[in-house]
C-alpha cells in the first residue's frame, strides 16, 4: 500500500507474544492512519468503562501516510489509549524522529496489550522484534533510559520512546518522550505504559516507503516549500518557534498570570526573544522540516550547572513563569528540564502547582498541610521542590500527582471552583476569555481541555471579508467576538484531525494553513494513489471527530461535560487588561457548534442521520 509501512505490530506483554499483520485497507481508507486509525481500533477493541490502568487497555502507537516523506514536518505520531487521568479518550502526539523510524521499519501501528511480569522494553529493528529486560532501567529518567538503550543496541540512530520515573510512580499525567525532550505528554499515556511495565519502545528501520507518484508528489512539495518560505510567520517561527507567543499573548492580555488572576507580570524577562538572546546556541527541527522552530539552549547559571536542552515550547515556558508568578527565567528552564527528565506533562504539572498556590493565597491550604512549603507566587525553591515531589509522589506532591480534578476533590473547601480543567484535563497557557474560538475548542475537545484539537487561528486574522467568504459571518475574524465561532471550530477540528491522521505538524497545516482541502487531496492522491476529493478528505476529519465523540459517549460524556471553569465564564477580565471585561459566552457558541456538527443540541451527541452520513452507522 503506497505511502504506508504496510503492517501492524501487535505485542501482548502478558504472554510475551508478538504478531505482525498486514494493515487493513478499509479502515485506512476511512481514517487514513495516526490518530484516526488509533481511535478506530480503540473503539472496536476496548469494552466500555475499561480502566486506564487495566492490562486490557491497549496502548496504540500510530503514524500516518505522510510520516517519513518529504512533507515539511511529516514527523508526527500519536499514542492512544483510555486515559488514566480523565477516564475518557487518551491521545497524545509528538514530533521528532520516532514516527518516521516506525514507518521505515515497516509499521504504521504498534498495539501493546497486557502487562509484563518484570520491566521490559520493546526493541524493533525492522523484522526483528523482541522484548528485552528493563530491570536495570526502571527508576532511570528519560535521558538515561534513551542513552542506555542506544548503547545496549549498539546503534545511536535507534529512536527511543521512553517513560521516566514519574510514570513509574503512578503520576497520572506522565507522558512518553522521544529525542529526550519531545513529549507525547497529554492524557497520561506514559502512565499507561508504566502500568504495563513497559519502559520504552525502541525502533530502527532500514526500509523505505514508496509513494504512488513520486514526480507528482515532489512537485507538490516543491510548491509547498515556497508557500511556507514566503509565509509572513516564517522568520519569527524559524527563530523563536512557539516561544514567540509569550510576547504575542501578553499583548492581548492572554498570559495565564498567577493562575489566570492577572496583575502585573514582566513578560520581557521570560520571553522567547530573551531566551534567544541569552541562551540559544542553534536552531533545530523535526524530521525533514523546513522550519527549524526548535532551539538548543545552553544556560549559564551557577545555580544550575550543566543545564542544556532542546526547547522549550511556549506551554512549559508560560507554565513555569507567568502561570506560577515566576520571572526567574533560568529557574523556569531548570523546572522544565526536570519535568522532561521525569517524563511529565508540563501543562498539567504547572496547573496543579498554580492551583495549589491560589489555594494557599486564599488560605485554603496551610503551611502544615504543604509539609512546610511556602506556596507564595513565584517561590523558586518551592517550584523546584514540587517538581521533584510530584514526580516521586512524595510529601505534598502526592496530592497533586493524581491530576487537578482528583486533587481538588481530595482537598475540597471550594477549591474545585478554580480547578482549571475540563473533563479532567488541565487547560493550556492562554486565557480563553480573550480568544473565543479557542475557548469553545477547549470545551468540546475530545481529550479534555485542549487547544490542539482545533487550533482555530482564523480568529486572529481581523479579516471580516474572509470571514464572510469562509463562514458567512464577519465576526469570525475577530478573537473577542463569539458569533460564528461554532463554524470556525468545526472547520479547524476537522483540519486538526487530518493533521494528526496524516502525521503532519499543526504549525504548518492548521496555523499557517499551507494546504486547503483540495490541495490536501491532491497530495494524498500522489502519496497513496487513491482517487480522493477535497470533500472526502474533510469528511474523514469529520468522521474522526464523530467517532471520538461516540467513544466518549460510552463514558457518559455529552453537552453537560462540554464546559469551562467558572473563572472564564463568570469573571470578566479586570480593568487594565487589553481585553478588559471579556468573558466566554459558552452556551450560544455550543448551540451553534452542535447545529453545525449535526449533533443533538440537548445531549450534544451525534444524531443517527449524522452517523449515517459519515458511514458510522448502517
Partner 1 sequence: MQILVQDALCSGCRACEVACVAWHDGRFGTATARIRVRKIEHLGVVRPVVCHACAEAPCVAACPSSALSRDEATSAVLLSADDCIVCSACADACTLGGVLVHPSSSHPLICDLCHGEPACVARCVTGALRYGSPEADDQGRSAGA
Q: Which residues contact partner 1 (rule: CB under 8 A)? A: 68-70, 97, 100, 104, 143, 146-147, 156, 179-180, 205-211, 214, 218, 225, 229, 281-290, 292, 294, 296, 298, 308-310
Q: Classify residue 344 by its DSSP letter.
A: B
Q: In this complex, which beta carbon is closest to partner 1, that of residue 59 or of residue 504?
A: 504
Smallest distance from partner 1 to CB 281, Å: 6
Least Å distance between CB 224 and partner 1? 12
Smaller CB separation from partner 1, 70 or 261: 70
Geometric angle at alpha carbon 424, from 420 and 426, rounded to 5°:
40
List the grid coordinates of 60.
Answer: 496504540
Q: Based on CB atoms, which residue is closest to partner 1, 71 or 396?
A: 71
Instruction: Kindly tell me which of 225 and 600 has the beta carbon lying closer to partner 1.
Output: 225
Three-class SS state of 138: coil
**Which CB, 32 or 430, lies closer to partner 1?**
32
Candidates 372, 370, 373, 352; CA nearest to 415 is 352
Query: Which C-beta is closer to partner 1: that of 68 or that of 424?
Result: 68
**Cα three-residue angle 286-244-222, rounded to 5 degrees:** 40
Beta carbon of residue 70, minimum distance to partner 1 (angstroms, whole number): 6
- Cβ neighbours for 360, distance < 8 A, ≥ 6 positions apart: 370, 375, 376
CA distance 504 to 68: 10
Task: Kindly tell me which of 144 and 555 has the beta carbon lying closer to partner 1.
Answer: 144
Quickly tell me which residue has 521490559 as its cell.
120
Secondary structure in 3-state letters for 453-517: CCCCHHHHCCCHHHHHHHHCCHHHHCCCCCCCHHHHHHHHHHHHHHHHHHCCCHHHHHHCCCCCH
Minimum distance from residue 41 beta carbon to partner 1 (Å): 25
Between 68 and 448, whose beta carbon lies closer to partner 1? Answer: 68
Supply the minimum distance, in Å, between the C-beta of residue 208 and partner 1: 3
Of 280 and 470, nearer to partner 1 (C-beta) is 280
Of the candidates 151, 514, 183, the one whose C-alpha atom is nearest the C-alpha of residue 339 is 183
For 615, the grid coordinates are 458511514
| Cα-based distances in Å from 152 to 31, 60, 133, 525 | 37, 25, 11, 41
Smallest distance from partner 1 to CB 106, Å: 11
Q: How far is the CB of 200 from partner 1 (least distance, A)?
A: 15
Tell me the closest approach of the beta carbon of residue 243 to partner 1, in angstroms: 16
The single residue listed with the C-alpha cell 448502517 is 618
Instruction: State in angstroms the smallest separation of the CB of 302 from partner 1.
Output: 20
Which one, 183 or 359, has the nearer CB to partner 1?
A: 183
Distance CA 223, CA 170 (A): 47
Q: How far is the CB of 73 from partner 1 (least distance, A)?
A: 9
Give the span between the Cα atoms of 481 and 472, in whole angstroms: 14
Written in H, E and C, the secondary structure of 60-116 is EEEECCCCCCCCCCCCCEEEEEECCCCCCEEEEEECCCHHHHHHHCCEEEEEEECCC
Amino acid at each position: 500500500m503506497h505511502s504506508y509501512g504496510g503492517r501492524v505490530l501487535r505485542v501482548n506483554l502478558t504472554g510475551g507474544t508478538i504478531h505482525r499483520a498486514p494493515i487493513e485497507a478499509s479502515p485506512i481508507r476511512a481514517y487514513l492512519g495516526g490518530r484516526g486509525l488509533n481511535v478506530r481500533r480503540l473503539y472496536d477493541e476496548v469494552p466500555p468503562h475499561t480502566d486506564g490502568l487495566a492490562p486490557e487497555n491497549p496502548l496504540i502507537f500510530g503514524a500516518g501516510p505522510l510520516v517519513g516523506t518529504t512533507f515539511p514536518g511529516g514527523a508526527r505520531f500519536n499514542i492512544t489509549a483510555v486515559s488514566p487521568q480523565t477516564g475518557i479518550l487518551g491521545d497524545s502526539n509528538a514530533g521528532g524522529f520516532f514516527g518516521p523510524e516506525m514507518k521505515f521499519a515497516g509499521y504504521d501501528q504498534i498495539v501493546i496489550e497486557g502487562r509484563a511480569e518484570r520491566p521490559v522494553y520493546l526493541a524493533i529493528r525492522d523484522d526483528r522484534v523482541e522484548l528485552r529486560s528493563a530491570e536495570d532501567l526502571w527508576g532511570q529518567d528519560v535521558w538515561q533510559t534513551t542513552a542506555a538503550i542506544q548503547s545496549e543496541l549498539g546503534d545511536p540512530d535507534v529512536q527511543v520512546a521512553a517513560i521516566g520515573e514519574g510514570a513509574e510512580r503512578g503520576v497520572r499525567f506522565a507522558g512518553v518522550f522521544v529525542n529526550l525532550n519531545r513529549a507525547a505528554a497529554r492524557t497520561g499515556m506514559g502512565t499507561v505504559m508504566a502500568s504495563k511495565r513497559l519502559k520504552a519502545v525502541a525502533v530502527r528501520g532500514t526500509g523505505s516507503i514508496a509513494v504512488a507518484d513520486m514526480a507528482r508528489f515532489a512537485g507538490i512539495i516543491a510548491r509547498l516549500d515556497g508557500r511556507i518560505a514566503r509565509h509572513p510567520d516564517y522568520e519569527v517561527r524559524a527563530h523563536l518557534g512557539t516561544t514567540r507567543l509569550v510576547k504575542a499573548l501578553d499583548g492581548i492580555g492572554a498570559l495565564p498570570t498567577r493562575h489566570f488572576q492577572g496583575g502585573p507580570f514582566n513578560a520581557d524577562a521570560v520571553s522567547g526573544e530573551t531566551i534567544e538572546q541569552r541562551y540559544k546556541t542553534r536552531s533545530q527541527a523535526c524530521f525533514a522540516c523546513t522550519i527549524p522552530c526548535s532551539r538548543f539552549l545552553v544556560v549559564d547559571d551557577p545555580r544550575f550547572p550543566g543545564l542544556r536542552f532542546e526547547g522549550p515550547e511556549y506551554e512549559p515556558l508560560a507554565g513555569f513563569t507567568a502561570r506560577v508568578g515566576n520571572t526567574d527565567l533560568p529557574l523556569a528552564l531548570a523546572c522544565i528540564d526536570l519535568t522532561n527528565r521525569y517524563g511529565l506533562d508540563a501543562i498539567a504539572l504547572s496547573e496543579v502547582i498554580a492551583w495549589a498556590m491560589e489555594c494557599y493565597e486564599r488560605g485554603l491550604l496551610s503551611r502544615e498541610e504543604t509539609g512546610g512549603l511556602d506556596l507564595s507566587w513565584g517561590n523558586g525553591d518551592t517550584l523546584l521542590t514540587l517538581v521533584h515531589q510530584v514526580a516521586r509522589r512524595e510529601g505534598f506532591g502526592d496530592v497533586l500527582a493524581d491530576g487537578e480534578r482528583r486533587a481538588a476533590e481530595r482537598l475540597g473547601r471550594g477549591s474545585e471552583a478554580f480547578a482549571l480543567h475540563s473533563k479532567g484535563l488541565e487547560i493550556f497557557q492562554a486565557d480563553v476569555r480573550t480568544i473565543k474560538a479557542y475557548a469553545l475548542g477547549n470545551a468540546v475537545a475530545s481529550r479534555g481541555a485542549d487547544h490542539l484539537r482545533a487550533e482555530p487561528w482564523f480568529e486572529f486574522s481581523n479579516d471580516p471579508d474572509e470571514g464572510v467568504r469562509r463562514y458567512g459571518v464577519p465576526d469570525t475574524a475577530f478573537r473577542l467576538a463569539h458569533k460564528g465561532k461554532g463554524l470556525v471550530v468545526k472547520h479547524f477540528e476537522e483540519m486538526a484531525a487530518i493533521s494528526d491522521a496524516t502525521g503532519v505538524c499543526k504549525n504548518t497545516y492548521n496555523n499557517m494553513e499551507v494546504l486547503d482541502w483540495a490541495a490536501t487531496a491532491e497530495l494524498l492522491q500522489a502519496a497513496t494513489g487513491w482517487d480522493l476529493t477535497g470533500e472526502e478528505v474533510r469528511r474523514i476529519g469529520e468522521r474522526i471527530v464523530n467517532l471520538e465523540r461516540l467513544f466518549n459517549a460510552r463514558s457518559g460524556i455529552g453537552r453537560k461535560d462540554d464546559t469551562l471553569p467558572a473563572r472564564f465564564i463568570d469573571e470578566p477580565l479586570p480593568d487594565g487588561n487589553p481585553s478588559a471585561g471579556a468573558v466566554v459566552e459558552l452556551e450560544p457558541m455550543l448551540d451553534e457548534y452542535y447545529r453545525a456538527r449535526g449533533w443533538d443540541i440537548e445531549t450534544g451527541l451525534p444524531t443517527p442521520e449524522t452517523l449515517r452520513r459519515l458511514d458510522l452507522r448502517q
